[in-house]
Amino acid sequence: MLIVIGVACIVATPMVWLLSGPGTGELVGASSQVGTGVAALVWAWLQPRQGDSATDTGQARASGGGSAHTGIRRPGGAGTGSARVDRTGDATAGGSGSSAGTGIDYS
């Protein structure tokens, strides 16, 4: 969303200048602004994504058809960036239909 707003701002001001018959200064200003905006957009795109982490999570128990997980859940591979788990606690499931897991769950 932030990148879309950035692109709109990059395009808006130079377009206003250029549509009203630019002078030399306005043309130079518009070119500088577009160049700077594109460079900032590329920089933002290349920044590393924030990762998910779970450390020393403790225990989790599920029963009666519930689920318990002591790590990170990323259903269907959702999420961006890295995922790291360390020393996750025990997860236990009891009863029909219950499930438990530790670590990273992509299901």
Q: pLDDT band at residue 32, thresholds of 50, 70 and 90?
A: confident
Length of the chain: 107
- Model confidence, pTM: 0.48
Q: Delimit the domains of the chain by residue range.
A: 2-46, 52-105
68 by Cβ neighbours in 10 Å (0-12 / 13-18 / 19+) ranks as buried
Q: pLDDT band at residue 45, thresholds of 50, 70 and 90?
A: confident
Residue pointed to by tokens 């318990």: 68
Task: With H, G, I as helix, E, B as strand and everything else as coil, classify residue 93.
Answer: strand
- Give the model confidence (pLDDT) of 74-86 as tens digits: 887 777 778 889 9
Q: How many CB atoms lie within 10 A of CB 70?
A: 22
- Give the model confidence (pLDDT) of 7-31 as tens digits: 777 777 667 767 777 778 877 877 8
Q: pLDDT band at residue 1, thresholds of 50, 70 and 90?
A: low
